[in-house]
Amino acid sequence: MNETGTYDKLNYNIQGFADLSILELITLQLLSRYKEPIVRHSLFLEVQQFFQKGQDANLKTDLSVSKSEQKFREFIKNMNPISTSSFYNNLNNLAKKGLLSFKDNGNIRLIEANELTKLAEKVIFQHFFVTRMPFEGDAMIESGVEIFKTIGKEKFESFLLIWLYDNTDLPFFKLLTTLTDYLFILCDEELYNNIINKSIDTIKYTKVFNELIREPDDIFECAFITYIDRKSDFFGINRINLLKEAIRVTNKGGYIIISNYTELPLTENNVTNNLIQIYNTVNKFQISNKKQLEEDMRKAGLNRITILEIKGFIFGIGWVE
């Protein structure tokens, strides 16, 4: 764990927990509440009770539900109960991964949480917290209205999207194809080949060679850079030089747009604040304030700059001169 209370994604990412079942995750979650070792069978009974309560709640008769939900309820109804042997086997597997420890007391097998017991829960929670962030088509359409109003333009002859995100947003990409005659994307090459190009074949791919975007000078009317991570390099180029490259390939009189998240303010509600602090910590390198965004844009050579904050997003708009 690093000093911020989060785990380094290079060492602990969600792929490392791909084979954990929901049962194992719940087991780790319940175990993590105990500061002292707990009898193995006691933990089994607690986990069993947890799933039984959820099963009972889902089996209430409700004829108004959809066919798919009826089918799922029938599946739950016919599920086999958790057996002690399978549960103990899961504990052995978790111990082999280092996610819990055994501590026997005579003939009684005790289970003990260790410093990694909360790791799986934390990493998976943080993953979904990040991937369910508000970069979705509807949110961007609303933001786009304000951006286009500021720019004074709603259609572009050519457009470069620099996508610095691990996942795709195909609805957003399709939206962009309606706003420009020629849409190019700079992103992870496998992401483009395996997903984007197979879904939207009108989007052209570009790449970085020797810290230079492959395209010639002054070719795009607008370049949009998503999620400038203030910690990382992309495509072997740091964020300032990447921004300079975006300016180089954008024609004079064109536009540079950068998007990031804004930090969420704390409230008077402690429960809400816990979630907000997780959000701010997990995304601290993808959160920018007005000063940070403007400094980056000026370092790259932009002078005319407007900053917009729209419902959790912050946008830097620069005019290429």
| In a domain? residue 112 | yes
The verdict on 241 and 196 lying in the same domain is yes
Given a cut of 80, is residue 148 above it in pLDDT? yes
Query: 14-23, 150-159, 222-231: which has the highest mean pLDDT?
Result: 150-159
> Which of 130, 147, 169 represents a domain boundary (last residue)?
130
- Tens of pLDDT, residue by residue over 110-128, are 999 988 887 777 777 776 6
The verdict on 122 and 153 lying in the same domain is no
The verdict on 30 and 74 lying in the same domain is yes
> Which of 130, 161, 178 represents a domain boundary (last residue)?
130
Question: Measured between alpha carbons, how far is 301 from 170 in angstroms, rounded to an integer?
Answer: 32
| In a domain? residue 175 | yes
Question: Measured between alpha carbons, how far is 17 from 120 in angstroms, rounded to an integer?
Answer: 7
Question: Measured between alpha carbons, how far is 87 from 100 in angstroms, rounded to an integer?
Answer: 14
What does residue 138 show for φ and ψ, rounded to 5 degrees?
-60, -45
- 196 or 115: whose pLDDT is higher? 196
How many domains are there within the chain?
2
CATH of the domain at 261: 3.40.50.150
Closest CA to 263 of 251, 250, 281: 281
Question: Measured between alpha carbons, how far is 297 from 109 in angstroms, rounded to an integer?
Answer: 60
Residue 262's pLDDT band, with cuts at 50, 70 and 90, is confident
The verdict on 205 and 226 lying in the same domain is yes
The verdict on 230 and 283 lying in the same domain is yes
| In a domain? residue 231 | yes
The verdict on 268 and 307 lying in the same domain is yes
The verdict on 193 and 225 lying in the same domain is yes
CATH of the domain at 48: 1.10.10.10
Question: Measured between alpha carbons, how far is 4 from 16 in angstroms, rounded to an integer?
Answer: 21
Mean pLDDT value across residues 51-64: 60
The verdict on 235 and 139 lying in the same domain is yes
| In a domain? residue 170 | yes
Given a cut of 50, is residue 306 above it in pLDDT? yes
Tell me the percentage of the chain whose pLDDT exceeds 90. Answer: 40
Mean pLDDT value across residues 169-196: 90
Give the domain extent around 99: 14-130
Residue 242's pLDDT band, with cuts at 50, 70 and 90, is very high
Residue 232's pLDDT band, with cuts at 50, 70 and 90, is low
The verdict on 110 and 65 lying in the same domain is yes
Residue 129's pLDDT band, with cuts at 50, 70 and 90, is low
Given a cut of 50, is residue 3 above it in pLDDT? no
| In a domain? residue 110 | yes
The verdict on 198 and 278 lying in the same domain is yes
Distances (CA, A) of 1 to 34, 99, 119, 261: 20, 14, 9, 24
Residue 157's pLDDT band, with cuts at 50, 70 and 90, is very high
| In a domain? residue 7 | no
pTM for the whole structure: 0.68
| In a domain? residue 5 | no
Residue 167's pLDDT is what?
A: 76
- Tens of pLDDT, residue by residue over 73-96, are 777 777 778 889 999 999 999 999
The verdict on 107 and 155 lying in the same domain is no
Tell me the percentage of the chain whose pLDDT exceeds 70. Answer: 84
Question: Measured between alpha carbons, how far is 182 from 156 in angstroms, rounded to an integer?
Answer: 8
Given a cut of 50, is residue 220 above it in pLDDT? yes
Residue 251's pLDDT band, with cuts at 50, 70 and 90, is very high
Given a cut of 50, is residue 8 above it in pLDDT? no
> Which of 98, 130, 162 represents a domain boundary (last residue)?
130
